[in-house]
Amino acid sequence: MSDVQAVSDALAMVAIPTAATADVTTVAVLGVGRVGSAVARAAMKAGYTVTVSASGDPDDIRLLTEIVIPGATPMQAADAARAADLVVLAVPLHKFRTLPADALAGKTVIDSMNYWAPVDGSIDEFDEDPRSTSEIVQEYLAASQVVKSLNHIGYHELEADDRPAGAADRRALGLAGDSDSAKALVAEFIERLGYDSIDAGDLSAGRHFHPGTAVFSGRHTAAEFAAILGGLAGASVPDELGGTVSTSVVGDLVVVV
């Protein structure tokens, strides 16, 4: 068997096993802009009960919800977070400190937020900190398990690019986090949305999904995604933000480290 074939065969095992994950039935999406609305609709399509919130009174977004996200329930952010099995952060990144940290304690939280200086303007907190943006968010949400994902797919693509498991053109989405159990929950969510999931490593690896990276800039199958993160076994490649990623083969499993 060739190295290319071995890696291709192993890619079927890259997604995190989800058999032992707890049941996730309710997803809270904090933020009802274009990204948050698309995530909420995709989650409902996948069979989840979805609550949504903005920064103020849920009555302020009730009509918007009925028109743009029919089937979702508007709630106060803190109440939505407490009631959810999984939370998606979809607010503008510079507002992350307005998130209800106490209500998010103990929750698995998907960070779908991006910092894009040409669009957002320069923000010293992110420009001057060498950590990935998700690591900064995790510091604020110290009692939560933050997983970086869903930031590298366009809101208009999320509802159009989903495919059934095994489809040759099924798109892959990456995830990065420090908690294996949290990553398993997120992997299951991604799979149910209609995408393969690729574990890129700990939360710092979320920098490989930032705007300007190869991951962020296109659609990728699982094989293509793994190639971007490291290529063939033993390869190490720089990403656009100065870090490196490597891969190795352990038995028949491709491990991105």
Beta bridge partners of 198: 174
Q: Does residue 251 come out as left (phi exceeding 0), alpha (psi in the -120 to 50 range) or beta?
A: left
pLDDT, position 117: 83
Residue ranges in the chain modelled with pLDDT below 70: 1-22, 231-257
Please state, in angstroms and rounded to a whole number, the distance separating the CA atoms of residues 202 and 184.
13
pLDDT, position 60: 95
Strand order of the β-sheet with 49-53 is: 73-74, 49-53, 26-30, 86-89, 108-111, 145-148, 172-177, 196-201
What's the whole-model pTM score?
0.83
Please state, in angstroms and rounded to a whole number, the distance separating the CA atoms of residues 189 and 115.
24
Enumerate residues 6+ apart whose C-beta is below 8 A from 190.
Answer: 149, 150, 173, 175, 196, 197
pLDDT, position 85: 98
Could you tell me if 65 and 32 are in contact, meaning their C-beta atoms sit under 8 angstroms apart? yes
Phi, psi of 56 (to 5 degrees): -125, -145
pLDDT, position 119: 79
Q: Which CATH class is domain 16-217?
A: alpha beta
Question: How confident is the model over 118-160, as pLDDT tens digits?
Answer: 877 889 999 999 999 999 999 999 999 999 999 999 999 999 9
For residue 255, with 0-12 CB atoms within 10 Å meaning exposed, 13-18 middle and 19 or more buried, which class applies? middle
Please state, in angstroms and rounded to a whole number, the distance separating the CA atoms of residues 224 and 208.
14
pLDDT, position 10: 38
Q: Return the domain boundaries, the chain.
A: 16-217
Give the number of other CB atoms < 10 A from CB of residue 182. Answer: 22
